[in-house]
């Protein structure tokens, strides 16, 4: 039993925000105030060190809700947001900051730690989808997408590889080491973001992960700039990607 | 003296089409019927074997005119459209088709032939710009962009490298051999298209040309598919790219 408990509800600027837990894991669901009977659902996963209501999450959700009339949900990742950190979390985070301070590569630590978190988070996302599909405005036969960059890709690639209900996904900015084997099982359309001057992920690593996806329809968007400089317009591009695959914008708000 | 002679004018669906010659070179100018006093100008160059009014040219122009209120102009390349082929043209084209029939690489022939055509076409585009800027609705102080894929890139990269009036450009799908040296002198924002499964241009060649641009703002759009399968939505992306850099859409039509 995947129990969805709504813990708070508010409405602002045409968007209904419902905070919830699924099996105790906290999440948030954004929906159009004047919704269609049924609308696609986009699952998001946030980046490392962030949380479910980080501006990147709520901002992308607002675009999807307002421009497409879709529902958007995101969970706090293990050790993030309202969830406690374990001793293992604290140790890995300290190791990562020590590498950063020493000018050593963070990649191997992030790959290892994100892989650990993904093993915990993937079943939580399957349970989230089960629970949200019980809502009549989402339903069990609706279109489902996934959108996660950075750690959101570390969680999303193994999740989408194992989740046939997801029909399109936006990923980006992660290493191939733990993810390429999952990507080779993904066949749905994807859009993938890379930074050309990423100080953590080499061009070869980024391109290797993009290349690994088995999708016949896939797009790579590379922009000049460093790891944290992914341009804002890529969020609008991702929204258009979902609108292209999930049908005409419903403009429900 | 760069003499612009308007040879035909017609209006359909809110777009004014003027055919012209500049120093005898035939071209076409598309403009919004109800134009702003001044609007940006996008110069296009067509692909190999095509011509100034190929649907790719008129279709992209229609997007730019309708969505942005811009002016759009394109010339027939030497040996293309209404321009006669020389013996050299005939020989190079025959060599290219012979390579294709024999299953041999076309790249080296296309690179060499396009470089030859670009040497002729680049001064024609400088003259075109001089002439069009004499029109009051374009003017000498307006924003100018360039958009050309395939052979349009072979012409456009040396042209933009030598033309400080061009402030943003969309290129793609060509080899680095004859172009990278010019690309290294281009600093304006660019958007660049590649096909991930191009049967003529290797990934390494395509990425090498993208990398060569000195632009601090540059975006690469890679899509799955073969050389001729560049998705339609990349035309819409290019229009948004120009709209982003040249200001809000004027919606003059």
Consecutive H or E run containing B235: helix B233-246
**What is the C-alpha to C-alpha distance for residues A71 and A17, in angstroms, rounded to an integer?**
10
Mean pLDDT (whole number) for B195-217: 98
Consecutive H or E run containing B194: strand B190-195
**Rounded (10°) CA dihedral B248, B249, B250, B253:** -170
**What is the C-alpha to C-alpha distance for residues A79 and A48, in angstroms, rounded to an integer?**
10
User: Which one of A203, A207, A222 has the shortest CB-CB distance to B219?
Assistant: A222
Residue A42 tokens read as 């986009």
A219 interface with B at CB cutoff 8 Å: yes
- For chain A, the average pLDDT equals 95
Asked if pLDDT for residue A1 goes beyond 80, the answer is: no
Is B217's CB within 8 Å of A224's CB?
yes
Is A107 in a helix, a strand, or coil? helix
**What is the C-alpha to C-alpha distance for residues A80 and A26, in angstroms, rounded to an integer?**
10
Shortest distance between the Cα of B154 and any Cα of chain A, in A, equals: 22
Tell me whether residue B231 is exposed, middle or buried, using C-beta atoms within 10 angstroms of its C-beta: 0 to 12, 13 to 18, 19 or more.
middle
Q: Give the confidence band of B108 by pLDDT, cuts at 50, 70, 90.
A: very high
Nearest partner of A221 among A245, A192, A197, A196, judged by Cα: A192
Is B224's CB within 8 Å of A244's CB?
no
Nearest partner of B253 among B63, B74, B40, judged by Cα: B63
Per-residue pLDDT reduced to its tens digit, A99-139 = 999 999 999 999 999 999 999 999 999 999 999 999 999 99
Is B216's CB within 8 Å of A222's CB?
no
Question: B45 vs B153, B162, B178, B236, CA distance in Å?
Answer: 8, 16, 17, 17
A13 interface with B at CB cutoff 8 Å: no
CB A217 within 8 Å of CB A241 = no
Task: Please give the ipTM for the structure prediction.
Answer: 0.91
Residue B165 tokens read as 């009036």
Residue B220 tokens read as 């690469």
Q: Give the confidence band of B97 by pLDDT, cuts at 50, 70, 90.
A: very high
Q: Which residues of A fall within a CB distance of 8 Å from B217?
A: 224
Residue A191 tokens read as 């859009």
Q: What would be the CATH architecture of the domain defined by A4-246? A: 3-Layer(aba) Sandwich (3.40)
CB B222 within 8 Å of CB B196 = yes
Asked if pLDDT for residue A85 goes beyond 70, the answer is: yes
Structural domain spans, chain B = 4-246
Which percentage of chain A shows pLDDT scores above 90?
A: 93
CB B192 within 8 Å of CB A222 = no
Q: Which residues pair with B15 in a beta bridge?
A: B12, B32
**What is the C-alpha to C-alpha distance for residues B233 and A241, in angstroms, rounded to an integer?**
10
Residues in chain B: 253
Mean pLDDT (whole number) for B150-157: 98
pLDDT of residue B34: 83
């Amino acid at each position: 039993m995947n129990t969805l408990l709504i813990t708070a509800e508010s409405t602002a600027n045409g968007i209904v925000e419902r905070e919830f837990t699924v099996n105790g894991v906290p999440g948030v669901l954004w929906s159009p105030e004047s919704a269609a009977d049924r609308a696609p659902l986009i699952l998001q996963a946030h980046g490392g060190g962030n949380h479910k209501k980080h501006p990147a999450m709520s901002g992308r959700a607002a675009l999807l809700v307002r421009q497409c009339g879709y529902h958007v949900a995101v969970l706090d990742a293990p050790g993030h947001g309202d969830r406690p950190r374990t001793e293992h979390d604290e140790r890995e985070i300290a190791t990562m900051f020590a590498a950063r301070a020493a000018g050593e590569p963070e990649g191997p630590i992030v790959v290892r730690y994100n892989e650990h978190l993904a093993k915990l988070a993937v079943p939580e996302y399957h349970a989230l989808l089960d629970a949200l599909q019980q809502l009549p405005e989402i339903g069990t036969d609706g279109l489902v997408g996934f959108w996660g960059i950075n750690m959101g890709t570390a969680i999303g690639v193994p999740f989408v590889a194992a989740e046939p209900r997801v029909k399109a996904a936006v990923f980006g900015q992660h290493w191939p080491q733990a993810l390429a084997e999952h990507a080779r099982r993904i066949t749905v359309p994807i859009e993938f973001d890379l930074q050309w001057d990423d100080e953590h992920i080499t061009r070869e690593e980024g391109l290797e992960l993009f290349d690994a996806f088995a999708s016949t329809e896939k797009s790579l968007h590379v922009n000049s700039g460093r790891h944290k400089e992914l341009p804002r317009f890529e969020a609008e591009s991702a929204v258009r990607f979902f609108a292209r695959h999930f049908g005409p914008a419903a403009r429900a708000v």
